Amino acid sequence: MYFGFRKNSAVKKILINSAIWMRLSNNKFNNMKTLKTLKVILTVIISGSMIISLSSCNNKNAQKNNQKISEDKIEKEVEEYIYPLPSTFEVTDMLNEIEASYIIDITNNAGNAGNYFTEKSRAINLGIYAADLAYVTTYNQKSEIEDYFKAIEQLVKELDMSSAFSEDLAAKISENMDDKEMLIEIVSGMFQKAYSFLNQQGRTEVSYLVLAGTVYEGLYLTTHVSENTFQNPKLIEVILFQKTHLSELGKLLEEYKDSELISESYNDFSAINAIYALEEGTTSMTEEQVNKLTETITQIRNKYVD
């Protein structure tokens, strides 16, 4: 008998809460190394739970099912609950910290939410709006926060995801409009819950499209907050910071590269990662790279937004 955490609500709660807590307790340490550490910790938790469950069975069942627990199976289930990339807030926080100005109208207009009619366009723009919400929250643009939450709420409903969120979510956002740190916590938790919900529903491809949207927009914002991106070393650092995110998401999409939903995004990320690969390293980029990356992400992002 295989005791997965889907059948153990206590373990499931520990898993989700641990993932969210580690995401929110220190926004700066959200990197791929931390995610791997989290997977190890949660795998131990789940394994322990399974051992306890197995020991509670009668001897007959225990002998009959005395099998080695598959680590790959455990990890696969863990990954269904853990948001696999650093939070979009890391990118927007970095922009804020290097004193990049808030640019009006750089984001996707919240009023466009009603213009998306396919599952694919809605999922990608949900991700784009999620990044935009992170951007306006980071820069404490209160009226914009409400607008983007409404846009997200509309797409969430159209994607049949409403049950992923508590009914008082809108009220919580409204009540904490003057508390930036609490808003960041609420919004980050919302991203995590959306990802987990889609995977629990067997909609992995849709969850990846949402992720793709957040990454598209994060890179788009970074390359458009200044007219002279290449001349600003701090902006180059933010662009390079996203290199690993793009590479990791490309790997996630590869499994579904022949899927009708995913194939276009897979090709998008292949094109972007090819530009990063023109100059290996994590400390510098050529002007050609920056210009080509800016042009490419603009074309990619706008084909989904327009």
Residue-wise pLDDT tens digits, 71-93: 555 555 555 556 667 788 999 99
Residue 17 scores a pLDDT above 80: no
Which tokens belong to 251? 């790997």
Residues 121-167 pLDDT 10s = 999 999 999 999 999 999 999 999 999 999 999 999 999 999 998 88
Average pLDDT score over the chain: 81
pLDDT of residue 101: 93
DSSP state, residue 240: H
Q: Please choose, from the candidates 179, 180, 219, 195, the residue with its C-alpha nearest in 3D space to the C-alpha of residue 88.
A: 219
pLDDT of residue 284: 87
pLDDT of residue 70: 52
Residue 16 scores a pLDDT above 50: no
Q: Which residue has the higher pLDDT, 230 or 58?
A: 230
Kind and range of the H or E run holding 285? none
pLDDT of residue 166: 87
Burial 1-35 (b: 16+ CB within 10 A, else e): eebbbeebeebbebbbebbbebbbeebeebeeeeb
DSSP state, residue 167: T
Residue 118, CB-side half-sphere exposure with 13 Å CA sphere: 8
CB 260 within 8 A of CB 277: no
Residue 66 scores a pLDDT above 80: no
Identify the residue whose tokens are 């290199």: 243
Question: pLDDT above 70 covers what percent of the chain?
Answer: 72
For range 5-29, the mean pLDDT: 44
pLDDT of residue 61: 55
pLDDT of residue 279: 80
Q: Please choose, from the candidates 63, 83, 129, the residue with its C-alpha nearest in 3D space to the C-alpha of residue 249.
A: 83
Amino acid letter, residue 187: V
pLDDT of residue 79: 55
Which of 13-27, 54-68, 182-196 is most confident? 182-196
**CA-to-CA distance for 110 and 94, rounded, in angstroms?**
23
CB 136 within 8 A of CB 226: no
Residue 305 scores a pLDDT above 90: yes
DSSP three-state, residue 255? coil
**CA-to-CA distance for 92 and 79, rounded, in angstroms?**
25
Residues 157-178 pLDDT 10s = 999 999 998 889 989 999 999 9
Which tokens belong to 1? 């008998």
For range 234-250, the mean pLDDT: 93
Q: End-to-end distance of the chain based on CA atoms, in angstroms?
A: 51
CB 208 within 8 A of CB 242: no
CB 258 within 8 A of CB 107: no
Contacts of 192 (CB under 8 A, 6+ apart): 16, 19, 20, 23, 83
Q: pLDDT band at 26, cuts 50/70/90?
A: very low
Residue 245, CB-side half-sphere exposure with 13 Å CA sphere: 24
Q: Which residue has the higher pLDDT, 280 or 251?
A: 251
DSSP state, residue 165: S
